[in-house]
Amino acid sequence: MGAQEDSLMIGAGDVARRIAILRRSGQTPGLFWLGGFKSDMIGSKAEALDAFGAEQGLAVTRFDYSGHGVSEGEFLDGSISQWLEDALGVFETTSGPQIVTGSSMGGWLALLLNQALRAKGDSRVCGLVLIAPAVDMTEDLMRLTFSPEELHDLHMKGRVEQPSDYADEPYILTEKLISDGAKHLLFGKGSIVTGCPVHILQGGQDTDVPPAHALKLLAHLTQDPVGFTLIPDGDHRLSRVPDLEKLKDVISRMSADAG
């Protein structure tokens, strides 16, 4: 049986939105997917994760953040707080231990999700797989890289427009996104404690989330077992067949250890 469509209402009043979900039933540890900025749950990595779950008989949960894919909401109204709320709401519909895999922004959200869950006594995240993790991206990879002209636009117009390598339309980065992201920064506060194994997959040719950024995260992960795989010729997407095979291998080993 394939993945089944589902949905979940999150939020109330003006911020209520229906979140679209794809679920595959199966055994635990389940596989929980967190996509990247402006990505959706039917991208190549999410599909590869689902295919692996089908092969291994594991449950798989993936969804679109609000304003992404087929979920409700406007993308420009989104924020890290809102997308984290989406992730927490969907995660709470799963059962048993879960391996959380996050790509780019999803890598940051994976760490925040795990942190929020453990703060309330939920330790079901049994492993984290982070693909080109864009931790603290609103600060390190956005605000601190803006030109004086872009900073002017951010404060005067409430937005910055940047060309995208992945779409004809530019990325629009809102002041709301940047200011809200500041509430969730992880770097510079000592060790990031996960309470579970972590594995980072990083492309050596990634210009969106450079290898140095992944190494900065690695330097903060000093309390738990961490694996790091550098794919020298890999770009930000890490969606080629060999890249996806590496992803499956990492999840396979983490799943075996969790079982």
Site of tokens 């992404």: 68
pLDDT confidence of residue 164: 77
pLDDT digits (tens, 9 = 90+) for 20-49: 999 999 999 999 999 999 999 999 999 999
Q: CA 184 to CA 85: how far, in whole Å?
A: 13
| pLDDT at residue 185 is higher than 80 | yes
Q: What whole-number distance in Å separates Cα of residue 160 and Cα of residue 19?
A: 27
Average pLDDT of the chain, as a whole number: 96
Per-position DSSP letters for 154-175, written without gaps between them: HHHHSEEEE--SS-SSPEEEEH
> Are residues 185 and 211 in contact, defined by beta-carbon separation less than 8 angstroms?
no
**DSSP three-state, residue 61:** strand
Rg of the chain over CA atoms, in angstroms? 17
Domain boundary assignment for the chain:
4-136+191-258
Under the banding of pLDDT at 50, 70 and 90, the label for residue 14 is: confident
What sections of the chain are H helices per DSSP?
44-56, 80-91, 105-119, 148-157, 175-181, 211-220, 241-258
The answer as to CATH 3.40.50.800 being correct for domain 4-136+191-258 is no
Q: Report the distance separating Cα 68 and Cα 80, nearest Å.
A: 13
Cis check: omega of the bond before 163, within 30 degrees of 0: no
Exposure of 171 in the CB half-sphere (CA atoms within 13 A): 13
Cross-sheet strand order for the sheet of 27-34? 4-10, 17-24, 58-63, 27-34, 98-103, 125-131, 198-203, 226-231
Q: Which of 156-159's residues contact partners 24+ apart within 8 Å by CB, and which partners?
A: 159/76
pLDDT of 166: 72
pLDDT in tens, 98-141: 999 999 999 999 999 999 999 999 999 999 999 999 999 999 99
